[in-house]
Amino acid sequence: MSYDIADAPEDGEVITLADEETGELDVPENPIIPIIHGDGIGTDVGPAAQTVLDAAAEATGRDIAWMRVYAGESARDKYDENLPDETVEAIREHRVAIKGPLTTPVGSGFRSLNVALRQTLDLYANVRPTYHLDGVPSPVKEPGEMDMVSFRENTEDVYAGIEWEAGTDDAEKVREFVEDEMGFDEKIHDGPVGLGLKPISEYGSKRLIRQAIEYALANDRDSVTLVHKGNIMKFTEAAFRDWGYELADEEYGEETITEDELWEEYDGEAPDDKLVVKDRIADNMLQQLLTRTTDYDVLAMPNLNGDYLSDSAGAQIGGLGIAPGINFGDGRALAEPVHGSAPKHAGQDKVNPTAMILSGREMLDYLGWSDAGDLVRDAVEEQIASGRVTYDLERQRDGATKLATSEFADEVVERIHDLA
């Protein structure tokens, strides 16, 4: 399609779908990749990530044709709206994109643009790899023990946004229905009350858990853990768990075993060709992340649990400033850092671009360019280990040298050239 404002490149080719059933892509050597720099510090970390990703692509004989698209503040300046149709359509058409952080107001104002993009494009799996980089200060003694990937369902649960404001006629209609028609007359306090729905479906649960199992099998992981609060929410989160076990048995029965089978049939030692599927209660899992970190490889979770747990895991490896993320759909992906927009630091060329850069690494892996992705990771780790880092890491390390965002990115590029 043609675009009125989005900056379409003069060269580059469109990524196409090679297999509709599997979602496999046909990726040219010079793909067009839409990029949203983002709000706040996105104006700094977006260009920095582009610089590094360009270098990794070129070092492996490829080229990225960037297509600048807009959302949030930059879109309001150009379109007078937060999420223009042509931004959504550009990502839909080109299938793989990357974005920086977008601001979401608390309590009022527009709804989350991050959630809107995921839901509109049906990017149902929010995937957050969590691993420690040498040289990053951490609050735990052994941050290197954390090497986990979170699969968080993106379209359902309380994040679906089906809710009614306290004191409105609609909220009272829902209250009356719940109390009078459904018989929950003692469950809701008198007076104004905000109400929301928590949809968790078999379809949504199984396609998320399928992605997690496929990832674990493809990457030689030992286990997939279904994280839920099914002891309390028996018809939503317990259903998520049950559908997960059902999927594993029906579709991956030759490749998976349950934790019960692990102990009953294998005395706790899983065969090399078996993936263990297990489950944990969400609040207990927050403990287990700290106390039994190495027991977990891939987590599959409903939306809210996934948000909390992936952020907690990120804290163990040094914080969200270095935590990458990517959203998967069927034959479509949108990479994004986990951190927010930090508007007070915007435009100062000071913040750490690592999370955005490593999100780009996940994008490169999704394209099938794992050699380029490995260059990015190795170069970033070497850079951080050298002690030449941005202010957030410099202030936590003795003898470190403080760099600007752009300087950090430029030195990572030099390391990519050296490693290639």
CATH of the domain at 255: 3.40.718.10
377 is in an annotated binding site: no
Report yes or no on 186 lying in a domain. Answer: yes
Task: For residue 410, give Cα distances in angstroms to 67, 218, 362.
Answer: 21, 33, 20
Kindly give the pairing relationship between strand 256-258 and strand 275-281. parallel
126 is in an annotated binding site: no
Residues 148 and 256 in one domain: yes
**What's the rounded Cα separation, in Å, for the pair 391 and 155?**
36
**Active-site residue, 169 included:** no
Which of 206, 229, 278, 350 is catalytic? The answer is 229
Full pLDDT tens readout for the chain, 420 residues:
677 777 778 889 999 999 888 888 999 999 999 999 999 999 999 999 999 999 999 999 999 999 999 998 888 888 888 899 999 999 999 999 999 998 765 444 446 788 889 889 999 999 999 999 999 999 999 999 999 999 999 999 998 889 999 999 999 999 999 999 998 888 899 999 999 999 999 999 999 999 999 999 999 999 999 999 999 999 999 999 999 999 999 999 999 999 999 999 999 999 999 999 999 999 999 999 999 999 999 999 999 999 999 999 999 999 878 999 999 999 999 999 988 888 899 899 999 999 999 999 999 999 999 999 999 999 999 999 999 999 999 999 999 999 999 999 999 999 999 999
Domain assignment of residue 187, given as a range: 163-196
391 is in an annotated binding site: yes
395 is in an annotated binding site: yes
332 is in an annotated binding site: no
**Phi/psi at 272 (nearest 5 deg)?**
-60, -25
Indicate the residue among 317, 336, 369 that finishes a domain: 317
Residues 313 and 327 in one domain: no
Residues 147 and 129 in one domain: no
Tokens of 367: 């394209």
Burial (0-12, 13-18, 19+ Cβ within 10 Å), 333? buried
**What's the rounded Cα separation, in Å, for the pair 12 and 65?**
5
366 is in an annotated binding site: no
Q: Helix, strand, or coil here: 265?
A: helix
Backbone torsion region of residue 12, taken as left when φ is above 0, otherwise alpha when ψ lies between -120 and 50, otherwise beta: left
Which of 307, 365, 366, 392 is catalytic? The answer is 307
Indicate the residue among 317, 332, 347 that finishes a domain: 317
CA angle, corner 296, sides to 212 and 209, nearest 5? 15
Q: Helix, strand, or coil here: 14?
A: coil
- Looking up tokens 């003694």, which residue turns up? 141
Residues 121 and 17 in one domain: yes
Report yes or no on 148 lying in a domain. Answer: yes
Report yes or no on 158 lying in a domain. Answer: no
Residues 324 and 412 in one domain: yes
Residues 49 and 76 in one domain: yes
Indicate the residue among 302, 317, 332 that finishes a domain: 317
Residues 274 and 382 in one domain: no
**Active-site residue, 220 included:** no
Residues 210 and 299 in one domain: yes
Report yes or no on 372 lying in a domain. Answer: yes
Residues 340 and 226 in one domain: no
Tokens of 24: 């496999």
Q: Helices H, strands E: what count in the chain? A: 14, 17
**Active-site residue, 70 included:** no
**Active-site residue, 229 included:** yes
Residues 175 and 291 in one domain: no
Burial (0-12, 13-18, 19+ Cβ within 10 Å), 216? buried
**What's the rounded Cα separation, in Å, for the pair 233 and 204?**
17
152 is in an annotated binding site: yes
Which of 70, 159, 215, 252 is catalytic? The answer is 159
Residues 367 and 408 in one domain: yes
63 is in an annotated binding site: no
Residues 246 and 347 in one domain: no
Number of domains into which the chain is organized: 3
